[in-house]
Amino acid sequence: MATKGTLLLLIVLLVAAADAQLMQKGRRRATTAAAAPTHLHFYFHDTVSGKSPTAVRVVAPPDASSMPMFGMVNVMDDPLTEGPEPGSGPVGRAQGLYMGSDQARLGFLQAMNLVFTSGEFNGSTLALLGRNCPLDDVRELPVVGGTGAFRFATGYALLRTHWLDLRTGDAIVEYNVYVMH
Ligand SMILES: *[C@@H]1O[C@H](CO)[C@@H](O)[C@H](O)[C@H]1NC(C)=O
């Protein structure tokens, strides 16, 4: 009788131990999947005026009087810096274009690569594609991919205008980018 009882207890203990191990594995997998995104913070300098612009108009809006920006295409190679001052530490470049694609208000389709040239992500890039209405307080652009350290990247960027010259259109924009990779 005693042996039967002991055997049963042994089986119960073994099953419990196997269950606990499975749960541990599952938990570990869940933790990996929910890993924290990489947070990047920097400033984007879009200079359209002056002798050395970093964004150039390649297509003028066809009907500038009634729809000031619709149909316009600007190509940029804009510096990204650590702080809002143009002379602060370089982070990389934003290379791509933004085009007026909203007939009712100021709204761009923005397609660009963020090319990192310093720090931990030097040599890696992020590809962003989304809608940018520059007069909104916060704009959200999807991160659709990346290279190097950012292979398999997915995420989003939040853009806030730090400074805007309404006369020239020059702007400094704060970027907070959250990336899973
Ligand atoms: C970034 O990487 C390039 C190529 O490896 C290198 O030449 C450059 O010095 C690096 N820049 C910084 C700021 O680390």
Would you kindly state where each structural domain of the chain is located, as residue ranges?
A: 1-35, 38-180
Please tell me the least confidently modeled range out of 6-10, 19-23, 96-100, 148-152. Answer: 19-23
Amino acid symbol at 46: D
Atom of ligand 1 nearest to the CA of 123: 2
Task: Tell me the pTM.
Answer: 0.82
Closest CA to 58 of 45, 70, 75: 75
Q: Considering the chain, what percentage of its residues have pLDDT values greater than 70?
A: 81
Other residues' Cβ atoms within 10 Å of the Cβ of residue 154: 15
pLDDT greater than 80 at residue 26: no
pLDDT greater than 60 at residue 25: no
DSSP SS3 for 77? strand
- Residue 51 Cα to ligand 1 midpoint, Å, equals 28
Tens digits of per-residue pLDDT, 82-134?
999 999 999 999 999 999 999 999 999 999 999 999 999 999 999 999 999 99
Average pLDDT, the chain: 90
pLDDT for the residue numbered 64: 87
Q: Are 160 and 168 in contact (CB under 8 A)?
A: no
- State the number of CA atoms in the 13 A half-sphere of 70 facing the CB: 8
Tens digits of per-residue pLDDT, 62-79?
998 888 899 999 999 999
Please tell me the least confidently modeled range out of 2-11, 146-155, 156-165. Answer: 2-11
Mutate to test the pocket of ligand 1, among 122, 124, 147 (most ligand atoms within 8 A of CB): 122
Atom of ligand 1 nearest to the CA of 90: 13
Atom of ligand 1 nearest to the CA of 117: 1
Domain 38-180: assigned CATH number: 2.40.480.10
pLDDT greater than 80 at residue 7: no
- Residue 117 Cα to ligand 1 midpoint, Å, equals 6
Alpha-carbon distance of 63 to 74, in angstroms, equals 16
Q: How confident is the model at residue 1 (pLDDT cuts 50, 70, 90)?
A: very low
Alpha-carbon distance of 167 to 164, in angstroms, equals 9
Q: Name which residue sits closest to atom 12 of ligand 1, judged by CA.
A: 118
Pocket of ligand 1 (CB under 6 A): 117-118, 122-123
pLDDT greater than 70 at residue 12: no
